[in-house]
């Protein structure tokens, strides 16, 4: 539990709306770091339309957030960047049955620093000597890293690129490594690349059939303190308003038939 508390502190619990009010109803949302901008924006609207509601945010890699929930961290809503972590929680009955819903889809992309003169236009270019270091999320806990590994394995490049790989704790850390020019290339989501458009530029997008669809399932966590408000927040993400905000931030609509 000490580690969980430290992670929550490092990741940052952001308090919105009526903090400290006796009538406040705190809702803790643990969400994949790639959703930070859009979920924060929608959270402000949610708090405004639910007087007395307080939103607490816990950002991180989906795998790290999954482990916190498994260790009984007080979470109301979980938003993952992959089905894998949600599947694991569902198998252990740690999410409320019937509340799991896919809210959006994303795409994987390879980026490089905006001022880079290194020519990278296809996956095979990553093998060239001119490409020194490549950052990916740690596949053990970071969905973006898992998708990157899948794509590179499908292309026969994963093992050959091992000496060049740098592993990040989450996809936003990978983004920052590229933005600061600490690496020559990195695997992130297209929404992340757009968020730092002046600091990075797209090199190429891996073929979509080389990795599983990037989907974002959300669910109410078993034992949630505010299950009704948690479910209402997920409904907002799926509403016309929520989908419009997600689209504006570069996310795609959820694929039909996914969960």
For the stretch 161-197, pLDDT in tens is: 999 999 999 999 999 999 999 999 999 999 999 988 8
Question: Tell me, what's the pLDDT at 258?
Answer: 65
Question: Tens digits of per-residue pLDDT, 199-229?
Answer: 999 999 999 999 999 999 999 999 999 999 9
Mean pLDDT for the stretch of residues 89-95: 98
What's the token pair of residue 121?
A: 């236009």
**Confidence at 25, pLDDT banded by 50, 70, 90:** confident
From residue 177, give the alpha-carbon distance in Å to each of 3, 50, 60, 172, 189.
25, 38, 16, 9, 14
Q: With a cut of 80, say whether residue 102 has pLDDT above it.
A: yes
**Confidence at 1, pLDDT banded by 50, 70, 90:** very low
* CA-closest candidate to residue 99, choices 232, 242, 240: 232
CATH fold for the domain made of 108-204: D-Maltodextrin-Binding Protein; domain 2 (3.40.190)
Residue in this structure with the two tokens 């034992």, named with its chain if needed:
223
Among 51-55, 120-124, 180-184, the least confident range: 51-55
**Confidence at 16, pLDDT banded by 50, 70, 90:** very low
Task: Determine the CATH number of domain 2-105+214-248.
Answer: 3.40.190.10
Q: With a cut of 70, say whether residue 237 has pLDDT above it.
A: yes
Task: Give the span between the Cα atoms of 15 and 17, in whole angstroms.
Answer: 7
Share of the chain above pLDDT 70, in %: 90
Task: Give the span between the Cα atoms of 182 and 192, in whole angstroms.
Answer: 17
Task: Give the span between the Cα atoms of 84 and 90, in whole angstroms.
Answer: 10
Provide the angle, in degrees to the nearest 10, between the axes of the packed helices 62-70 and 2-11.
140
Q: With a cut of 90, say whether residue 114 has pLDDT above it.
A: yes
Domain span(s) for CATH 3.40.190.10 in the chain: 2-105+214-248, 108-204
Task: Give the span between the Cα atoms of 56 and 77, in whole angstroms.
Answer: 10
Burial of 155 (0-12, 13-18, 19+ CB in 10 A): middle
Q: With a cut of 90, say whether residue 252 has pLDDT above it.
A: yes
**More confident site: 22 or 166:** 166
Task: Give the span between the Cα atoms of 102 and 93, in whole angstroms.
Answer: 18
Query: Which 3 state secondary structure label does DSSP give 15?
Result: strand
In DSSP notation, 61-88 reads: -HHHHHHHHHTT---SEEE-SSHHHHHH
**Confidence at 36, pLDDT banded by 50, 70, 90:** very high
Question: Tell me, what's the pLDDT at 197?
Answer: 83
**117 Cβ contact list (under 8 Å, min separation 6):** none
């Amino acid at each position: 539990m000490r580690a969980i508390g430290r992670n929550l502190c490092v990741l940052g619990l952001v308090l919105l709306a009526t903090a400290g009010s006796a009538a406040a109803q705190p809702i803790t949302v643990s969400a994949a770091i790639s959703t930070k901008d859009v979920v924060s924006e929608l959270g402000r609207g949610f708090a405004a339309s639910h007087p007395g509601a307080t939103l607490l945010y816990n950002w991180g890699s989906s795998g790290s957030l999954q482990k916190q929930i498994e260790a009984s961290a007080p979470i109301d809503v979980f938003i993952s960047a992959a089905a894998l972590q949600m599947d694991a929680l569902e198998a252990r009955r740690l999410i409320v049955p019937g509340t799991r819903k896919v809210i959006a889809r994303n795409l994987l992309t390879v980026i490089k620093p905006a001022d880079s003169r290194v020519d990278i236009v296809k996956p095979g270019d990553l093998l060239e000597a001119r490409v020194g270091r490549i950052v990916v999320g740690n596949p053990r806990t970071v969905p973006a890293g898992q998708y990157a590994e899948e794509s590179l394995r499908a292309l026969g490049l994963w093992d050959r690129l091992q000496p060049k790989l740098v592993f990040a704790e989450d996809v936003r850390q990978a983004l920052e490594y590229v933005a600061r020019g600490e690496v020559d290339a990195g695997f992130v989501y297209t929404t992340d690349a757009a968020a730092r458009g002046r600091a990075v530029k797209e090199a190429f997008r891996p073929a979509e059939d080389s990795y599983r669809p990037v989907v974002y399932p959300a669910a109410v966590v078993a034992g949630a303190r505010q299950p009704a408000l948690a479910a209402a927040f997920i409904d907002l993400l799926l509403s016309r308003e929520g989908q419009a905000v997600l689209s504006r931030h570069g996310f795609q609509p959820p694929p039909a038939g996914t969960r």
